[in-house]
Amino acid sequence: MRFNIIFFIAGVILLLTSASFDVNFFNYKRPIPFEKWKTISFYDFTGLKKPGLTLEDVSRFAYIRTSREIVYQSNGEIRVTAYFHPARSYVFNEQIRNPDLLRHELYHFHITEYWTRLLRKDILSYKGKSLRSYITKQDDIYYQLEKEMQQRYDEETNHSYVMQQQTKWQTLIDEELLSLADFSSSLLIVK
């Protein structure tokens, strides 16, 4: 009996914690690096959506959470990786899982990768001292620029519903990623 009460209390605390941080600990999936973006489907969007939450008063969209992680390794190498967070991403309405909306959400991930590649390029070309502080400063700058680009992308495509703009953005992002193909590896060997 006592075990059941403890288990119940722990479950309630975990549920409340999950809801407050938008992380689904009950169906947690590890973050997925950009190099595996083609494997992502809407079934990977396992995040918890707060009840009644809508995007701009509409519940026909999805939400993707991405991030960039910088890891300094003991051998002097640096790993800079763009990630998709399944347990923090969700679909507002389960009935709208369609390829166009998924493509739109994945291009948010592509935008994160674009700014990550620019950061990698900057790191590899930096010749000054205090590399870590330089990386932190550049990452902060790129985070703000990425955030602005993500917002513009959603506004101009109306979250994927303006197909002409969606196609235009996809072409632009693909071209930018291609132009930075030399910086697609997460692992940086800084000399």
> Domain for residue 103, yes or no?
yes
| Domain span including residue 86 | 30-188
- Return the structure tokens found at 70: 């910088």
113, 82 in Cβ contact below 8 A?
yes
Q: Is residue 76 part of a domain?
A: yes
Cβ within 8 Å of residue 105, ≥6 positions away: 45, 62, 63, 64, 89
Residue 7 belongs to some domain of the structure: no
Task: Tell me whether residue 116 is in a domain.
Answer: yes
Segment 166-188, tens digit of pLDDT? 999 999 999 999 999 999 999 99
* Residue 15 domain flag: no
Domain count, the chain: 1
Q: Which pLDDT tens digit goes with each residue over 42-95?
A: 899 988 776 665 555 555 578 899 999 999 998 989 999 999 999 989 887 666
Structure token pair of residue 156: 């101009």
